[in-house]
Chains A and B, each alone.
Chain A
Amino acid sequence: MHLMFIFLTIFFHYVACLDYDGWMNIKVDHSLNCASEKYCKRGTITLKSIRAGTAIIDQIPFNRKHIKELQELAELDGFYTIRTLVSTAEGKEIEFLSSVKAKGLLENGLSDIISAWVLPSGEVIAVTFQVMNSTQTNALNLDSEYPINSDFYLRHVDQAPVPDTASYIQKLEREREAREKGELKDNRSFLAKYWMYIVPIAVFVMISGAGNPEGAAQPSR
């Protein structure tokens, strides 16, 4: 029980350095097939706890009209814009906009990646929609309903490191102590240290010795 408590606190410390925890509700709207307004509902993403990060995504499937509009946009190389309204435990709703190329979304088979960046104070600074860069062009089957696959990632803005003076001072202290107490680690053998100089000299001696006795032998006959 005690151990479990310690384990949980350590776990939470590593999971996210959030000051406050709470719920988060993201309403996702898009601008496809909207009758009169600019944006109409696409779905919602709910998180019970920002620290845990598990999200429940609930989105409407696309129907043929949506796909047709997307295809029209893709022909013009246009953007598929999504508006999100994020409300957290703290209060007001914040609006974010994000766009992907319509062509990219169609090519990926309507799968996108939603990332939400959260500050340690629990506030959301960005909600972005992106598509993976896939090269395959999936021709969509003519169904009546096309479900959207969305992956949701909650990213935390980390604390930046602080100049680490403590460990540096410790390292200096250790080095100073080691230098005072220990010896230099240059206790290799003499040959190992100076073989680089001995070998060329030996080679030269051998060559000149090989040359000289031959030379000395011949004139002596």
Chain B
Amino acid sequence: MCIYEDQIGKFDWRQTYVGRIKFAQFDTVSTAKKIIVATEENVLAALNLKTGQVMWRHVFESASSGDIQLLHFSDGDKVTTVTGSNPYLVRGWDPTTGVLLWEWPISIIDTERAHLSEWWVQNGMLVHLLPAFGSHLEVTMYNLMTGSNRGATSKLPTVWTNDGCILTPPYYTCISGNMGNYMLLSLDVTSNAVQIISKPLSNYFSEGEVIEGNLRPLDGKTSQPGFIIDDKAILLIKNNEFEPLNVRLADQSASATFIDAISGPMLVQAWSDENKGLSITAYNIATNTEITDMQMSGPKINIPEAELLGVLCINTAREQPAYRILLNGADDAVHLLQQGGRVVWSREESLANIVAAEFVDLPVSETDAALESEFDQKEAIKVYSSVWAAFVRRLHTQYQQLHTLIQNLQGEGAVLDTPSPLVRDYFNLHKIIVLITDVGKIYGMDNLSGEILWQRYDGNLNTESVVMFTRRSARHPPHDAYVTIIGKHEETGNGYVISLNPIRGTLVGERVLRLDVRLLQVALLHTVDAEKLHALILLDEDETVQVLPVSAAPLVRDLYMYVADRETGRMQGYALKYDGRQVIAQRTWSLNLGGAGARIVTIAGKSRTERVHSAGKPLADRSVLYKYSNPNLLLVVLERPDPTHKDVVTAVAVDAACGAVVAASTHRRARALPLAVHSDNCLAYLYRSDKHRRLEIATMELYEGNERWLPAGTQFSSFGCARAPSVERQAYIVPASLTALAFTSTEKAITDTHLLMGLSTGMLMELPWAYVDPRRPMTLSGEPREEGLIPYAPELPLPAEASLNYNRTVQRVRAIYAAPSGLESTSLVLATGLDLFYTRVAPSKTFDLLKDDFDYHLISIVLAALIVATYSTKYFASRKMLKQAWK
């Protein structure tokens, strides 16, 4: 898909994210003030201090070799990171541009304990500490820029170390001893003299307080080493002595940090409460007073489990210094606050880990709703029984429309301040995307602009195998649109159901429902009840069925559910029936796909809104090759280790209603990727061939033959067909490594389906199905040529102009979601991963739209000019003829 330069950003947008922030450092020395962050997603980035935008970003490997262990930035110096997990790489970066300056590796011999290493930078030296609990500490110091060390690792004998010890650079602090007799010990590991500070813990607690002996470090980059004991007392280590602070920790979950402000050393604490919201306090240590500027308590700011990442003191022109506080929340969002509690900017970093996405239609405007209900035949017949009543109604609606038009024309003089409500546009291109992220936060995003319309955080939602259903679209006013999200409760593992209105984000219907059983699977009932709501069927682990809402239980019929076990490859099917009192699930079939030791890699079913447009393909001799369209078909891809051939991949097409295997094929010496797509009668899945060491795509198409099995318009029943369709199979080589695969989808399925592929390089490619069609002939002659089939070539062409996102790479593409729009030619595509990218795709070119830069003005001017010219010429010619006749 190629676009012009001025079309960039017209139909697509990209948002970049960095992930949950692990370490953050403020950089105020360079001209552009920024925050250097290192995240859990193995990203090193610099955020602009004023706006929060990403200035530069480095994405490391997503495996453990890209884990960031240390981020260090000292003023005026370079940014240092230690990444990896034995071996480690120490790198230095330029803070302004993000350019790599130097790099050297560290490899630790003791691989079992390597994960316990601690790192920090001191005086231009990188210090590495490897504790051996109960015996000693190994300290190695490396020159930060060159990596040379003195060659020796100093071993400090410390019998008192245990796994509760924390590092407060350069001191290593522990609590040891027995219950009631705790000792607080600390050691400066970098000094040459081994000097242990040791004090009994009861010194710092008053009589009668229960001492548990938990140590917690101060968050952020503290200017003085310090720690928190038992979430109550705060101690600093100064001049080789423990120095308790007069102020205690304000809340058990509070996070505290210690900075050197202009007015003196200051302790900042932040915590969030359910009722009071976010609270921040600051305490000046030198003068022992509270700093009232910083004190705030904002119930409106909702940061769950706030954690301080850093506090910055800015020297402004006025007397009072300004503070900037960077907070991290449990919902992965990062906020920068000003003193006084005003939020300067926030970044929703949970969008770097999207688990599920769904496109939801917007409601129609009121006038359109009135029009639609007028023309809806069923309703009209009910209400208006005579022609005259309908006529009067029509006049009424037209008068209303005229009224609104006049009002709009009149009102255009006045400035309209009200924001336009969310209403469906003419081509139904404007939708809301409901996104569920890994951390349990649900967003509603506008798909045209990419802005977040609403968000909801639920810490109890475990999104491991979360499912989202649209139970009611916004097409039936006055009922709201209804979306249900089913996941697991974080602690108990039982079912957790959230129902909300996707347009506004408010809870509706069942709201948040906590079940007391674990769920096996869920399904949506295909028929609607009186309120146009699809009921939800929940199958729990003891095979009992719950129906939400309960009143919809009598509507359950012709519903079959299947559950597949990932680890064993077994599938079972249930038939659900209402027996008068409740819905019963009866086991009807079970399969053991893949054989012994198999593992299901992926299951691909058909999407709920899919339609089949044509019953077959017309061949060159004008006969029809009828397709085998089974709406209950599933593609199951399994993998199994084999003694003779290293790994075997089995792909089975199963009819999920009757449990029959329709088609199956195996690949030897191959490993399957969890990418499979299935639409209409086309199935495709990817596997890595170990024999040839390349990625291949295998496609299957199912056909009935030249005659229809069932006459047109009759009913298709899975239990009635015992014939096996003929299968066309082929495999092609994919010259890239893919991480995401999806089919485009349109409302009426008239346009071709194209494959959307996400490459590991960050490009999104669109490939027509004709290139992976299994019927591609070897030689091009005669009939196959007339049909339009491309001759066979074993490798798929992936030209650069087939990429959807030109130069806007999407890092780590995880999934691609495609949804139909109101236009038949267009499909809306969202690619998620570390970044988000949204665009529109037209697989058969935009056959139902005028071109984008259609010259309305030029054509209308030319048309008007021609009409004028025609009439004037006619007039003048008649006059001339008349004159001539009189000669």
Q: Which residues of A are interface residues toward B (Cβ below 8 A)?
A: 19, 79, 81, 94-101, 104, 113, 115, 117, 119-121, 123-126, 128, 130-133, 155, 157-165, 167-168, 171
Smallest Cβ-Cβ distance to B723: which chain A residue: A132
- Which residues of B, 694-722, contact A by the 8 Å Cβ criterion? 696, 698, 717, 719-722
In the complex with contacts A81-B588, A119-B595, A163-B795, A158-B719 CB distance below 8 A: no
In Å, the complex CA distance between A79 and B584 comes to 13
Q: Is the CB of B792 within 8 A of A168?
A: yes
In Å, the complex CA distance between A115 and B589 comes to 14
In the complex with contacts A157-B666, A159-B668, A163-B731, A126-B592 CB distance below 8 A: yes
A-B contact pairs, 19 of them (CB 8 A): A100-B658, A113-B722, A115-B661, A126-B592, A126-B661, A128-B658, A128-B659, A130-B660, A158-B664, A158-B666, A159-B667, A159-B668, A161-B730, A163-B696, A163-B733, A163-B794, A163-B795, A171-B778, A171-B779
In Å, the complex CA distance between A159 and B733 comes to 17
In Å, the complex CA distance between A213 and B165 comes to 117
In Å, the complex CA distance between A117 and B792 comes to 31
Q: Is the CB of B590 within 8 A of A96?
A: yes
4 extra interchain contacts, Cβ-Cβ under 8 A, other than A130-B719, A157-B652? A133-B720, A158-B666, A163-B732, A164-B794
Smallest Cβ-Cβ distance to B792: which chain A residue: A168
CB-CB < 8 A to B651: which residues of A? 160
In Å, the complex CA distance between A162 and B651 comes to 14
Q: Which residues of B are interface residues toward A (Cβ below 8 A)?
A: 572, 575, 586-596, 642, 644, 648, 650-652, 658-661, 664-668, 689, 696, 698, 717, 719-722, 724, 729-733, 778-779, 792-795
Q: Is the CB of A125 within 8 A of B593?
A: yes
CB-CB < 8 A to A155: which residues of B? 661, 724
Q: Is the CB of A158 within 8 A of B595?
A: no
CB-CB < 8 A to B587: which residues of A? 81, 97
Top-6 shortest CB links A-B: A133-B720, A123-B595, A130-B722, A99-B588, A163-B794, A160-B665
Which one of B592, B595, B658, B689 contacts A96 once the chains associate, using CB atoms below 8 Å?
A: B592
CB-CB < 8 A to A98: which residues of B? 588-589, 658-659
In the complex with contacts A79-B575, A133-B717, A157-B665 CB distance below 8 A: yes
Q: Is the CB of A121 within 8 A of B589?
A: no
Q: Give min CB distance, B482 to chain A, whole Å.
A: 31
Q: Is the CB of B575 within 8 A of A99?
A: yes
Smallest Cβ-Cβ distance to A123: which chain B residue: B595
In Å, the complex CA distance between A123 and B643 comes to 14
In Å, the complex CA distance between A113 and B445 comes to 52
Q: Give min CB distance, A88 to chain B, whole Å.
A: 11
CB-CB < 8 A to A132: which residues of B? 722
CB-CB < 8 A to A100: which residues of B? 658, 719
In the complex with contacts A94-B592, A123-B596, A99-B722 CB distance below 8 A: no
In the complex with contacts A119-B650, A159-B665, A97-B698 CB distance below 8 A: no
Q: Is the CB of A121 within 8 A of B658?
A: no
In Å, the complex CA distance between A163 and B774 comes to 11
Most A CB contacts (10 A, CB to CB) among B572, B591, B792 go to B591
Which one of B592, B648, B729, B779 contacts A161 once the chains associate, using CB atoms below 8 Å?
A: B729
Q: Is the CB of B650 within 8 A of A168?
A: no
CB-CB < 8 A to A160: which residues of B? 651, 665-667, 698, 729, 731
Q: Is the CB of A117 within 8 A of B778?
A: no
In the complex with contacts A97-B587, A119-B650, A125-B592 CB distance below 8 A: yes
In the complex with contacts A99-B658, A131-B722, A163-B696, A125-B595 CB distance below 8 A: yes
Which one of B590, B648, B661, B668 contacts A97 once the chains associate, using CB atoms below 8 Å?
A: B590
Which one of A115, A121, A128 contacts B642 once the chains associate, using CB atoms below 8 Å?
A: A121
In Å, the complex CA distance between A117 and B588 comes to 18
In the complex with contacts A97-B588, A162-B731, A128-B661 CB distance below 8 A: yes
In Å, the complex CA distance between A105 and B572 comes to 22
Q: Is the CB of B795 within 8 A of A79?
A: no
In the complex with contacts A121-B642, A163-B732, A168-B794, A99-B664 CB distance below 8 A: no
In Å, the complex CA distance between A141 and B594 comes to 43
In the complex with contacts A99-B575, A163-B733, A164-B794, A126-B595 CB distance below 8 A: no
Most A CB contacts (10 A, CB to CB) among B644, B659, B729, B733 go to B659
In Å, the complex CA distance between A176 and B595 comes to 47
Q: Give min CB distance, A157 to chain B, whole Å.
A: 4
In Å, the complex CA distance between A132 and B723 comes to 8
Q: Is the CB of B720 within 8 A of A128?
A: no
Q: Is the CB of B595 within 8 A of A121?
A: yes
Q: Give min CB distance, B55 to chain A, whole Å.
A: 45
Q: Give min CB distance, B211 to chain A, whole Å.
A: 58
Smallest Cβ-Cβ distance to A20: which chain B residue: B644
Q: Is the CB of A99 within 8 A of B659?
A: yes
Most A CB contacts (10 A, CB to CB) among B661, B665, B731, B732 go to B661
CB-CB < 8 A to B588: which residues of A? 79, 81, 97-99
Q: Give min CB distance, A37 to chain B, whole Å.
A: 16
Which one of B661, B666, B792 contacts A159 once the chains associate, using CB atoms below 8 Å?
A: B666
Smallest Cβ-Cβ distance to A91: which chain B residue: B596
In Å, the complex CA distance between A115 and B660 comes to 9
Smallest Cβ-Cβ distance to B597: which chain A residue: A123
In Å, the complex CA distance between A201 and B586 comes to 79
CB-CB < 8 A to B590: which residues of A? 95-97
Which one of A94, A117, A125, A165 contacts B794 once the chains associate, using CB atoms below 8 Å?
A: A165
In Å, the complex CA distance between A9 and B665 comes to 23
Which one of B664, B667, B722 contacts A117 once the chains associate, using CB atoms below 8 Å?
A: B664
In Å, the complex CA distance between A168 and B732 comes to 12
Q: Give min CB distance, A114 to chain B, whole Å.
A: 10
Q: Is the CB of B731 within 8 A of A161?
A: yes
Smallest Cβ-Cβ distance to B558: which chain A residue: A77
Smallest Cβ-Cβ distance to A104: which chain B residue: B719
CB-CB < 8 A to A79: which residues of B? 575, 586, 588
In Å, the complex CA distance between A208 and B839 comes to 59
Q: Is the CB of A104 within 8 A of B593?
A: no
Q: Give min CB distance, A148 to chain B, whole Å.
A: 15
Q: Give min CB distance, A104 to chain B, whole Å.
A: 6
Smallest Cβ-Cβ distance to B795: which chain A residue: A163
In Å, the complex CA distance between A32 and B648 comes to 39
Smallest Cβ-Cβ distance to B569: which chain A residue: A125
Q: Give min CB distance, A51 to chain B, whole Å.
A: 17
CB-CB < 8 A to A161: which residues of B? 729-731
CB-CB < 8 A to A158: which residues of B? 664-666
CB-CB < 8 A to B664: which residues of A? 117, 125, 157-158
Smallest Cβ-Cβ distance to A82: which chain B residue: B589
Q: Is the CB of A157 within 8 A of B575?
A: no
Which one of B644, B696, B779, B795 contacts A19 once the chains associate, using CB atoms below 8 Å?
A: B644
CB-CB < 8 A to A81: which residues of B? 587-588
Smallest Cβ-Cβ distance to A160: which chain B residue: B665
CB-CB < 8 A to B722: which residues of A? 113, 130-133
In Å, the complex CA distance between A133 and B711 comes to 13
In Å, the complex CA distance between A98 and B589 comes to 4
CB-CB < 8 A to B794: which residues of A? 163-165, 168
Q: Is the CB of B594 within 8 A of A133?
A: no
Smallest Cβ-Cβ distance to A101: which chain B residue: B719
In Å, the complex CA distance between A188 and B285 comes to 102
Smallest Cβ-Cβ distance to A130: which chain B residue: B722
In Å, the complex CA distance between A40 and B658 comes to 22
Q: Is the CB of B589 within 8 A of A128?
A: yes
CB-CB < 8 A to A123: which residues of B? 595-596
Q: Is the CB of A97 within 8 A of B589?
A: yes
Most B CB contacts (10 A, CB to CB) among A157, A162, A163 go to A163
Q: Is the CB of A126 within 8 A of B731?
A: no
Smallest Cβ-Cβ distance to B796: which chain A residue: A163
Smallest Cβ-Cβ distance to A117: which chain B residue: B661
Smallest Cβ-Cβ distance to A134: which chain B residue: B720
In Å, the complex CA distance between A164 and B778 comes to 10
In Å, the complex CA distance between A117 and B650 comes to 12
In Å, the complex CA distance between A119 and B575 comes to 28
CB-CB < 8 A to B659: which residues of A? 97-99, 126, 128
In the complex with contacts A96-B592, A98-B589, A99-B575, A120-B658 CB distance below 8 A: no
